[in-house]
Structure 1
Amino acid sequence: MAVSSPAQDCPPHLFSRDRAAGTLALMLGVGSHAINGFVTTAVLPDIIRDLGGQDRAFWVFSSFEMMAILAGCLTGAVKVRFGARLPFLLATSLLAFGSTLAGLSGSLEGLIAGRAFQGFGEGMIIALCYGLIPDLFPNHVAPRVFALLSGVWALAAGIGPVSAGLLSELWSWRAAFLVNIPLVLLLFVLMNTALPAGSAVARSGHKPEQSTGSNRIALRLLLLITSIYLLTVIGEAQTPVRLALTILAGLLAATILLKIDANSIRRLFPRQAFRLETLIGLGTWIVFLTSVVAAVRAIFVTTFGQVYWDMSVTEASYVAAGLAFSWTAFSWVSARAPSRKRELTYLVTGPVLIAIGMAMTGYSLETRSLILFALAAIVAGAGHGLSSQILMRSLMYTAKGQEQNLVSSILPTISSAGIAIGGGLTGLIAIQTGLITPGAETLLTKAAIAQSGALVFYTNAFLMLVPASAMMILRRRLILVESRDVKADRA
């Protein structure tokens, strides 16, 4: 795959003088996003005991996710127009302000507002981190970058709950938010050192795209906010009909948004996003659908461990974290693939392993096998690790010009949106199968898990066959595109 990058003349080591600041900044940016999620989950009981508002606890997470997705959708276009330094200044400022507001808040409403500012800042940061990978690293170095970042996620999964507990015991839950402030300052210094100056269009040498379309920015922002709101409040729906209608309304708003955006002068999304006939479009669908299916693990695995096997919160968290550790290990396997042919083999193998991991989880619930339950997380993690970075890298480096900025920045946001929608879809499946009874005092019981838990995971294993099949089509398209690029380079 022929790739143009300003970093091609640099030595390949990630921590060489030319790359150290950028590598450390990406690690800190991704790590901050990951740890914030784990830490907030761990200290939520202390927050509710101190501030009250158990009926509004949902918004501690939803306000963050809603604003993070909104920021991620806007970041690619902002980076194209202004470069990365100005957005990073805004993002780090919002994250610092939100962390301070949440950490010092005397009410749950104030904490929710702080989480919203945190979410917008973190959403921009994670989108910028992935958007900067093609700017800072050539294609042949990128596999090691993705493997390193997956290691950061695994480390966050390992130390997040423990660090939150220590901070809470040594001071209070407020420390979990206030600790962000020195980290944000360090992140800004590193990014200011590593970031290329100027806008993405100016640096690339590509002329700005000419379009005869209109802008309609107000309409697009309205549709964007509407779709994000609907798709992140799915968890508040109390009946299957309301849940289904909320999902459909959110998807309809998103579909109209993409159609209008594709013909706009300054686009928010890649022109080919979600267009099945294109390589980028098919790839974005795979990222989205894989995240939709993966949501079931995020929602139920830790809770199943506690309820079904009487594990402590920490024990169940580390069983679930087996996925993150396995993801990291197999990301390094993927990064060391000896040839592009082997990479493409990993690409199509990964989704199959994810489906197998889902099915194994279902079988472990039928047989009450804790060992198989833990092993299933490792198998699913192996699937993600083998294929995820190859998929994202292929999409990033196939896109050209300002499309590369839009594709690179939007991929983590598509994943977050998929998890949000997947949470709603999983809830709908759980209600229909009897795993969850709306209005019940207890969310899950051993009897309900024994009766319906396996079916929920078998259903998601079956759904995972859709992106697995699409990945095989994507593999063929990648081979054709890369063969064509090689012939063009030789000519």
Structure 2
Amino acid sequence: MTSTTTSRRSALWAPDRRFVTLALFLLVTLAAFEGMSLGTALPTIVADLHGESMYSWPFVAFLAASVVGTVLSGRISDRWGPVPALVVGPLLFLAGLVIAGVAQTMVVLLVGRVLQGVGSGAQVVALYVMIAQVYPERDRPAAFGVLSAAWVIPSLVGPTVAGLLTQHLSWRWVFLSLAPLVAVGVLMLTPVLRQLGIRRDSSGGDERWWLLPLAAVGAAAGLASLTWAAQHPSLGSAGVAAVALAVLVPALRHLLPAGTLVGRPGLPMTILSRGLIAGVFFSVEAYVPLTLSSVHGFSPAMAGLPLTLGSLGWSAASMWQARREGDPQVRIRNGFLLVAVAAVGIVVIAPDWGPPWAVVPLWLVAGAGMGLAMPSISVRTISLSADGEQGANSAALQVCDMLGSACLIGLGGALIGALASTAHPTAAVIPFDLLMAGVALLGAVLVSRK
């Protein structure tokens, strides 16, 4: 076991892969830091730019643009390899950081967020494809473990650093301080990008290729509308959600492998499992700080602490699985089971008589479940994908992730609006967490099928 662990670790840091691994870590860390920091700086940003009525749109614009970047990057990577998207994606992200950092109006800020979303979506899919091309199959779990580990530092210090920058310098440095480091990441990738080159596609492509960007835009619009409707519960927003679903479902038929939405065993179920486990984890997590602050009187800083602990559990489990051989399908199932246990356990902190300290071990367990499942889902997806489909299937993973999170977080918001309130959320949090535990158990059963 020791020799296997040593060889797998050294494969990441071998001379011909050292800069690739560092660049993977740096680019994902920067994107994660930006994502973790925005929430802290946003109240100051909207006040400074007089955009209070558009508070949610920096999130929505990024999410919608990410769908487009993800889908187009998948198609480009399958036809010409990951190099074009790995050049254009980080550069768009960098441009978005600069534009957002110098914005004088909310409209300009949103333009920057759109560029960041397209760039981030394009980048992550191309990184998946590059991992498949650069790292041997047995070393891919470790490479995907690096992607998970890249979220640890932003989770720990991102909100705090963003708060300090906003308070003592300017919110603009939340964006501008990252731009030079993105350029460094691109430069570190340059040698391997030259080595990979641009693949010449002589297949002629799909005659209906033009449907893909339309489907991407439709999915982006549908997902953005669902997110908006979830954040503004009312009878009118229910109509918006219905229209969004009418647009989203046909779009997904062109963006996901056949059988994904019904959980067909194999690749479709693997991709669906990403949406299910991400949706359960992030939707339960979204209402943990609300429960701790509204029910138990925690300060905002203390209410957000379990989210950091979850990130630590995620990273630890991800690094553990990266250093040991194992069946990805079994690890995905075990990840679902751990998240289900945590979701059931979180129910005990929802009443005012419940022990709030229980959230600490429970959310460490939930994070560990994600650390087991998420890299394993990526590894299994790549291994089940043909050479010309790795980009499209990696894009499908990201689309499922965003869709599952948006829908289930929205469901939680709808339950709070119907059964409780943000001041007294217990009556909604208990049935919602139990429902999410049921979804996780269903995912464990479905993913176990051969």
| TM-score, normalised with respect to structure 1 | 0.82
1:179-198 equivalence runs, <5 A: 179-195=177-193, 196-198=195-197
Residues 76-475 of structure 1 aligned to structure 2 (within 5 Å): 76-195=74-193, 196-199=195-198, 208=203, 215-216=210-211, 219-221=214-216, 223-239=218-234, 241-259=235-253, 261=254, 270=257, 273-274=260-261, 276-340=263-327, 343-366=328-351, 367-434=353-420, 436=421, 444-445=422-423, 448-473=424-449
SS across alignment from 2:11: coil
Cα deviation digits, residues 267-307 of structure 1 (max 9, x gap): x6556654633511111111112222223234212233333
Q: Look up the match of 1:486.
A: none
- C-alpha offsets along residues 80-121 of structure 1, whole Å, 9 cap, x if unaligned? 233323223322222222111211112222222211211111
The alpha carbon displacement at 1:52 in A equals 2.6
d(CA) in 1 for partners of 2:285 and 2:302? 15
Q: Answer whether contact 2:219 2:252 (CA < 8 A) is retained.
A: no
Provide the secondary structure at the position in 2 that maps to 1:321: helix
8 Å Cα contact 2:68/2:217 also seen in 1: no
Aligned residue type for 1:402:
G
Question: Against the structure 1 CA distance between its residues 52 and 309, is the aligned structure 2 distance closer, same or farther, given a 3 Å change threshold?
Answer: farther
Q: Deviations over 1:190-231 (max 9, x none)?
A: 2222224334576xxxx7487676754565355344433433
- Report the residue type matching 2:84 in the other structure: L
Which amino acid letter does the alignment assign opposite residue 43 of structure 1?
A
Give the whole-Å Cα distance in 2 for the aligned partners of 1:106 and 1:25. 32
Instruction: Give the partner amino acid of 2:336.
Output: P
- State the partner residue of 1:38: 36
Does the CA-based 8 Å contact 2:8-2:142 persist in structure 1? no
SS state of the match for residue 140, structure 1? helix
Q: Is the 8 A contact 2:336 2:444 kept in 1?
A: yes
Q: Is the 8 A contact 2:86 2:127 kept in 1?
A: no
Supply the distance in 2 between the matched residues of 1:391 and 1:218 (Cα, whole angstroms): 26
Q: Summarize the Cα distance change of 1:270–1:77 in structure 2 as closer, same or farther, 3 Å threshold.
A: farther
Aligned 8 A contact 1:29 1:129 in 2: no
Q: Is the 8 A contact 1:282 1:470 kept in 2?
A: yes
Q: 187-196 or 348-357: which moved more?
A: 187-196
TM superposition shift of 1:404: 1.9
Distance 1:242 1:194, change over 3 A: farther
Residue 351 of structure 1: how far off its partner (Å): 0.5
* Structure 2 contact 73–391 (Cα < 8 Å) conserved: no
2:247 alignment partner AA: A
> What root-mean-square deviation, in Å, do the aligned CA atoms of Structure 1 and Structure 2 show?
2.6
Q: Return 5+ residue gaps in structure 2 as ranges.
A: 1-6
Contact preservation (8 Å) 1:334, 1:387: no
Q: 2:16 aligns with which of 13, 18, 21?
A: 18
Distance in 2, matches of 1:273 and 1:84, equals: 24
Could you say if the C-alpha distance between residues 236 and 30 of structure 1 is closer, same or farther in structure 2, counting changes exceeding 3 Å? Answer: same
What do residues 233-282 of structure 1 show as CA deviations (whole Å, max 9, x unaligned)? 3334432x5555444443443332344x3xxxxxx655665463351111
Pair 1:397–1:102, CA change in 2 (3 A) = same
Q: Which moved more, 1:21-30 or 1:83-92?
A: 83-92
Percent of aligned positions with the same letter in both sequences? Answer: 22
Instruction: Evaluate the alpha carbon distance shift between residue 95 and residue 362 of structure 1 in structure 2; reply closer, same or farther with a 3 A threshold.
Output: same
Structure 2 vs 1, CA of residues 172 and 222 (structure 1 numbering), >3 Å: closer, same or farther?
A: closer
Rounded to whole Å, the distance in 1 between the matches of 2:205 and 2:61 is: 36
CA contact (8 A) 2:65 2:220 kept: no
Unaligned runs of 5+ in 1: 1-8, 262-267, 437-443, 478-491
Q: Structure 2-normalised TM-score?
A: 0.89
* Post-superposition CA distance 1:315-357 (Å, at most 9, x none): 22222211110011111222233443xx543332210110110
Aligned length: 442
Quote the offset at 1:387 in angstroms: 2.1
CA contact (8 A) 2:67 2:216 kept: no
